[in-house]
Amino acid sequence: MKFWFTKGVWASKKAREVIADLSRDTIKNIAVIRHGALGDMLLTRAFLVETRKAFPNASITLSIVSNYTRGTPEDLVDRVHVVHGSDQRETPLRTRIKRMKELGPQDIIFDLASSNRSVMTCVLNSAKLKIGFPYHRLQAKLFYDVATCRSDTNFEVDDMINMLNIFGIKTAYPHRYNMPGPALERDRPYIVYFAGASTSNKCWPASSFSQLITEMIKLYPQHQHLVLEGIQPWEKADEILAPIAAADRAAAITADTIEETTALLKGADLVVSNDTGIRHLAIVSDTPSVGIFFADPFRYWPRYSIHDVAIPDPDWPPSVDAVKTACLNVLPVDK
């Protein structure tokens, strides 16, 4: 193999010496470290799909963290390695280190987190090449053999895929996620709204969702407008649906498992959501989506036509008109 870059990527002297002795066909063991929540797990699917294609003879191990296992793409890897997370704080340091070392020797380690825990996992295991995308150049020189660029203004999947592009690997765009599972079939086409988030202060106001759905019913009268409920108290649909007059066109819906949620989102014509794992699930399901952001939307916004975001003013959440315009961008109204 060789490196396919001249600028913008840092590579150590060791990496430049080792690369000539490696071949994509003879790479046998690859580890991908991705210590993150549901949305991070889902977006990693594109990287794993391309890695499998590029290194057909490699066994791929995915390293995850114990407090974030939901959505683990087990169908795309040969082995899952789980390190102790924040749900196991009482675990002795010696035991944590032992578990990290169980990742084992690799030909290539891709660190797709660059967190304290992922860096330690990377450092404690040997590899011919260790590749990461830390924000700080000093971290690159201390912990990796190769460091690619990372920016909050790029869609994070693009930054991950760059780690494969440096080997001259051609990757698909739009990204391929290969999310398994059938789409839900209903009597009428439908749009899904998700008003939840990890904390209530990250949620667009219920009154704004009510106003949006009222206007969307006029724009898309043939659709059912379904508010997906979450498990937290602030993720219920009652407050949103109460002011909406067209009760026959708007309703609450629940999905108890990731398989049920995937089917629901795959069958939708559009998903409108706060910046949550639900929106990422829509993205990997190839369902048009609109994200409602309070800040920094670019890192989680794929720049292809079926996805849009509503960007807030500096001190305010996005307006109803901004979200409605984004919806029309990805799901135009038939004239």
pLDDT in tens, 315-333: 788 999 999 999 999 999 9
Closest CA to 215 of 253, 187, 243, 189: 243
User: To the nearest 10°, the Cα dihedral for 162, 166, 171, 177?
Assistant: -40
Please answer whether residues 32 and 112 qualify as being in contact, where contact means their C-beta atoms are separated by less than 8 angstroms: yes
pLDDT of residue 335: 47
Cβ-in-10-Å burial (0-12, 13-18, 19+) of 260 comes to middle
* 244 contacts 250 by C-beta, under 8 angstroms: yes
The share of the chain scoring above pLDDT 90, in percent, equals: 89
Between CA 212 and CA 313 the distance in angstroms is: 18
Q: What is the mean pLDDT of residues 242-260?
A: 90
CA 67, distance to chain mean position in Å, is: 17
| C-alpha–C-alpha distance, residues 108 and 11, integer Å | 14
- What band does 64 get if pLDDT is binned at 50, 70 and 90? very high
Residue 277: Cβ-neighbour burial (10 angstroms; 0-12, 13-18, 19+): buried
Q: What structural domains and CATH numbers belong to the chain?
A: 10-165 (3.40.50.2000), 190-330 (3.40.50.2000)
Q: Which of 180, 205, 209 is nearest to 193 (CA)?
A: 209
Identify the pLDDT of residue 93: 95
Q: Is the pTM of this model over 0.75?
A: yes
